[in-house]
Amino acid sequence: MTFQDLQALHIAPATTLRDTIRAIDASGRLGTALIVDEEQRLSAVITDGDIRRGLLAGLSLDTPIGELLAIKALEPNPHAITAAEDTDPTELLRLMQERHVRQIPLLDEAGRVTNIVTLNELLPTQPQGLRAVIMAGGFGTRLKPLTDQIPKPMLPVGGRPVMEWIVEKLRHAGIRQMKVTTHFMPEKIMEHFGNGQSFGVEMEYVNEDRPLGTGGALGLIAQPNEPFLVINGDVLTEIDFQKMLDFHEEHEADMTVAINLHQVEVPFGVIDCTGPLITKLQEKPRMNLLVNAGIYLLQPTVYQFIPQDTPFNMTDLIQWLLNAGRRVVGFPIREYWMDIGHHPDYAQAQKDFLNGHPTHE
């Protein structure tokens, strides 16, 4: 990129998280925004992972990015990892691997960014190794009567089955090999997708003779050798799976759980008391909760916690891993996400797709 191109990534400390996200998304493969001073000298690098950690810490999209720097100061790499613009690629690769970063800004003598080198440029043949498991075995009881004659993942949204949107999203992320767990009317799913060839992917099916839950169904699949993605078959999302994998690896997680911010409005005045004394009254407050989004990344080692031929949910797996002291991290979704498991949510998804593919900030 030219210096002029890189200027599109320049932000100031007063720039909001919302506008920083736009800069990061506009950077494409770089996944980076650059905080610079009045002389365009680099002050800090903001990545997609930084933004998500800020959201986890309770920052809003209207928060100035400068407030994120206090959170970033607690990270393993609080300061920008940079190099001189004439640094040898071998040295850049060593620095990336040593400091666990995926990109390094190159600076001129004045401290201005003249280029950004990424790990993919230095190791272009590096395999991703990510495969996916789509959980499509549920009965869809809460969506009856819509699911009386069709499995929930095959319900239409935007003129296509929900699961078709999922498969397309996975394919665009470079994920070509998928396992599909089925139970309720599996023939409807298999007849539509076949071996996946017409959708540009490879699909295999694992049928549950009896419902085993989202976690138990994994016990029917051979343990993979690489990290693998698990996604519920009733989820519509624009989540960036590569960024989720980067986050998973950066935090050295055994399991990464995609989480979504959900607001609950209490329809009453909420009172705080100390003994009999009222100390505070909040009229119809809104509670911000982080909810399980039904998308997971797992290391192969978690298979030792999955029982064989036993009903078992992903929530059980999360708790078992926590009890064992394993590292489970949350990946906040800043993109579009919708679980169609309830009638109001399914109706909302239909509206979202009415004018094309939805976006969300």
Bridge pairing between strands 103-107 and 83-84: parallel
**pLDDT single digits (tens) 316-326:** 999 999 999 99
Stronger pLDDT, 264 or 327, i.e. the higher one = 327
Domain 3-122 has CATH 3.10.580.10: yes
pLDDT reading at 129 higher than 70: no
What pLDDT score was predicted for residue 140?
82
Q: Where are the domains of the chain?
A: 3-122, 131-352
What pLDDT score was predicted for residue 58?
86
What pLDDT score was predicted for residue 7?
84
Q: Which of 72, 50, 101, 47 is nearest to 250 (CA)?
A: 101
* Average pLDDT of span 3-9: 75
pLDDT reading at 361 higher than 50: no
Superfamily of domain 131-352: Spore Coat Polysaccharide Biosynthesis Protein SpsA; Chain A (3.90.550.10)
What pLDDT score was predicted for residue 4?
58
Question: Mean pLDDT highest for which of 1-5, 215-219, 269-273?
Answer: 269-273
Can you tell me the distance from the alpha carbon of 134 to that of 236, in angstroms, rounded to the nearest whole number? Answer: 12
Among the residue ranges 79-88, 117-126, 134-143, 180-189, the one predicted with the least confidence is 117-126
What pLDDT score was predicted for residue 237?
94
pLDDT reading at 190 higher than 70: yes
Whether 222 and 206 have beta carbons less than 8 Å apart is answered as no
3-state secondary structure 93-146: HHHHHHHCCCEEEEECCCCCEEEEEEHHHHCCCCCCCCEEEEEECCCCHHHCCC
What pLDDT score was predicted for residue 326?
96
Going from the C-alpha of 25 to that of each of 33, 48, 51, the distances in angstroms are 9, 9, 12
pTM of the model: 0.84
Going by pLDDT thresholds of 50, 70 and 90, the confidence category of residue 100 is confident
Q: Which of 128, 117, 126 is nearest to 90 (CA)?
A: 117
Can you tell me the distance from the alpha carbon of 15 to that of 170, in angstroms, rounded to the nearest whole number? Answer: 32
* Average pLDDT of span 175-184: 92
**Can you say whether the dihedral through the CA atoms of 16, 21, 27, 33 is positive or negative?**
positive
Going from the C-alpha of 284 to that of each of 7, 262, 279, 331, the distances in angstroms are 44, 16, 16, 29
Going by pLDDT thresholds of 50, 70 and 90, the confidence category of residue 331 is very high
What pLDDT score was predicted for residue 359?
54
Name, in order, each residue with C-beta under 8 angstroms of 222's C-beta and a sequence gap of 6 or more. none
Going by pLDDT thresholds of 50, 70 and 90, the confidence category of residue 261 is confident
* Average pLDDT of span 69-94: 87
